[in-house]
Amino acid sequence: MILGIPDPWVLSGYIFTVLSVVLCVVYGIINWNKGDEEDSYLE
């Protein structure tokens, strides 16, 4: 049993929750300074 949760449905909910937070954090860090050039570049 992983993390004390026997049901794969509940366990996957728990793990996906943690992973999605990690995804947001990593995405934010990688793109922290990207995106402000776009307006001047395209208009």
Partner 1 sequence: MDFVVLTIVFLVYFVLVGYVGYLAWKRTKSSEDFMLAGRKTHPYIMALSYGATFISTAAIVGFGGVSGQFGMGILWLVFLNIFVGVFLAFVVLGKRTRKMGHNLGSMTFPEFLSRRFNSKFIQYFSGLIIFFGMPIYASVVLIGAARFMETTLFLDFHLSLIILSLIVSVYVIFGGIKGVMYTEAVQGTIMFLGMIFLLIFVYWALGGVETAHMSLTNMAPHFPASAQALGGTGWTTFPALGSEFWWYLVTTIIVGVGIGVLAQPQLAVRFMTVKSNKEINRAVLLGGLFIGVTVGTAYIVGALSNVYFFEHLGQIAVDVVGGNIDKIIPTFIGMALPEWFVYVFLLTLLAAAMSTLSSQYHAQGTSLGRDIYETLKGKKNIESVRLTRIGILIAVVLAFILSLVLPGSVVAQGTALFYGICAAAFLSVYLCALFWKRTTREGAIAGIVSGTFVSVFWLLFIFGRTAKGLGICQALTGQATLIPTMPWIAIDPIMFAVPISLILTIVVSLLTKPMPKEHIDKCYKGIANNEIANKKTVNKEIADEKV
Under a CB-based contact definition with an 8 Å cutoff, are residues 12 and 2 in contact?
A: no
For the chain, give me the number of helices (H) and strands (E)?
A: 2, 0
Shortest Å, Cβ 40 to partner 1 = 9
Could you give the string, one character per residue 4-43, with x where binding to partner 1 holds by CB under 8 A and - elsewhere? xxxx-xx--xx-xxx-xx-xxx-xxx-xxxxxxxxx-xxx
For the four alpha carbons of 15, 17, 23 and 26, in that order, the dihedral sign comes to negative
Residues that bind partner 1 (CB under 8 A): 1, 3-7, 9-10, 13-14, 16-18, 20-21, 23-25, 27-29, 31-39, 41-43
